[in-house]
C-alpha cells in the first residue's frame, strides 16, 4: 500500500520537560510500542522518531555552543526557531501529511521554558512560531528536581543553587499548561519506574490513535 492510500492520518506527539526528567526514555518506549502496536494488525503504522535540536545548520551550531558553554539567550532563541522552522517544513509536515506518526523529543515548549523565561517576550515567541503545527498530544514528564539533579550527577557544592534553578523550571512547565490551554497537554508523574510511567502514557495514546479499540 502506498503512502497516499494508507488508512491512517498523521499524528504529532511531543515529549517535553526539564533535562533528566525521563522524557527521552518515554519517547523511546512510545516509538517501540507504536512500531509493534497490537491493534495495528495490518502494519499500517509508520513512525518517525525525532528530537530537537535537529540536524540543521542551526541545530549543529546550538550543539557546538552548548558544548563550549557559549550561552546567549537571544542567539539561542534565533537558532532554535530557525532549526525548528526547517525541521517542521522539511520533515515534520511532509511526514504527517503522508500519514506518519511523528514523535518528537522536545518542541517549542522548551524554547518557552528556557528562552521566554529569561527575557524573550511572549509576543515575540508567538510571532516566531506562527503557523507551526500544534501537537495532537503533549506529555510533560514531571520528575522532582532533586531526582533530576542526582541523575545529572550533581551534588555537594552548589547543590542548593542548582536545586533552586531546577525548581524554577518545574514552576515554568506547570504554568505552561495554562499558557498553552488550547494544547492537549498532560502532566505525567515521572517519579516512578519507566514502565509504570509509560502505562499512563499508553492509555492516552491508544485513546487518541485507536479510539475504536476498547480500553
Asked if residue 215 is part of any domain, the answer here is no
Assigned domain for 214 exists: no
Q: Tell me, what's the pLDDT at 5?
A: 41
- C-alpha cell of residue 196: 509504570
- Domain assignment present for 183: yes
For the ranges 11-15, 37-41, 47-51, 167-171, which has the lowest average pLDDT? 37-41
Residue 186: give its domain's CATH number. Answer: 3.40.50.300
Q: What is the pTM of this model?
A: 0.90
**How much is the pLDDT for 215?**
54
**Burial of residue 62 (number of CB atoms within 10 Å: 0-12, 13-18, 19+):** buried
Range with lowest mean pLDDT among 13-17, 89-93, 144-148, 163-167: 163-167
CA dist 173 and 142 (Å) reads 9
Average pLDDT over residues 139-167: 82
The total domain count for the chain is 1
Label residue 153 left, alpha or beta by phi (over 0 means left) and psi (-120 to 50 means alpha). Answer: left
Task: Let me know if residue 191 belongs to a domain.
Answer: yes
pLDDT at residue number 213: 66
Examine residue 8 and state whether it is found in any structural domain, yes or no: yes
Write out pLDDT tens, residues 26-35: 999 999 999 9
Nearest Cα to Cα of residue 55 among 91, 13, 109? 91
> Is residue 14 in some structural domain?
yes
Pick 7 or 46 by higher pLDDT: 46
The tens digit of pLDDT for each residue in 45-60 reads 999 999 999 989 999 9
Q: Are the C-beta atoms of residues 195 and 203 closer than 8 Å to each other?
A: no
Over residues 111-126, the pLDDT tens digits come to: 999 898 888 999 999 9
Task: Look up the domain containing 12 and give its range.
Answer: 3-209
Q: Where are the beta strands (DSSP E) in 68-157?
A: 101-105, 137-142
pLDDT > 90: percent of the chain: 72
Q: Does residue 14 contact residue 130 with C-beta atoms inside 8 Å?
A: no
Amino acid at each position: 500500500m502506498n503512502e497516499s492510500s494508507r488508512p491512517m492520518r498523521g499524528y504529532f506527539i511531543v515529549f517535553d520537560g526539564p533535562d533528566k526528567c525521563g522524557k527521552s526514555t518515554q519517547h523511546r518506549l512510545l516509538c517501540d510500542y507504536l512500531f509493534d502496536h497490537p491493534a495495528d494488525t495490518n502494519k499500517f503504522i509508520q513512525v518517525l522518531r525525532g528530537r530537537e535540536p535537529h540536524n540543521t545548520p542551526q541545530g549543529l551550531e546550538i550543539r557546538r555552543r552548548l558544548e563550549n558553554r557559549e550561552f546567549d539567550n537571544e542567539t539561542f532563541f534565533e537558532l532554535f526557531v530557525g532549526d525548528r522552522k526547517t525541521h517542521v517544513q522539511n520533515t515534520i509536515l511532509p511526514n504527517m501529511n503522508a500519514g506518519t506518526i511523528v514523535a518528537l523529543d522536545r518542541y517549542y515548549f522548551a524554547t518557552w521554558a528556557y528562552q521566554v523565561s529569561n527575557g524573550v517576550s511572549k509576543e515575540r515567541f508567538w510571532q516566531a512560531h506562527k503557523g507551526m503545527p500544534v501537537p495532537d498530544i503533549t506529555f510533560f514528564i514531571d520528575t522532582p528536581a532533586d531526582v533530576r539533579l542526582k541523575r545529572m550527577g550533581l551534588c555537594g557544592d552548589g547543590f542548593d543553587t542548582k536545586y533552586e534553578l531546577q525548581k524554577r523550571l518545574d514552576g515554568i512547565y506547570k504554568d505552561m499548561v495554562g499558557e498553552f490551554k488550547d494544547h492537549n497537554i498532560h502532566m505525567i508523574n515521572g517519579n516512578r519506574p519507566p514502565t509504570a510511567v509509560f502505562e499512563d502514557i499508553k492509555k492516552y495514546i491508544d485513546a487518541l490513535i485507536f479510539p475504536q479499540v476498547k480500553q
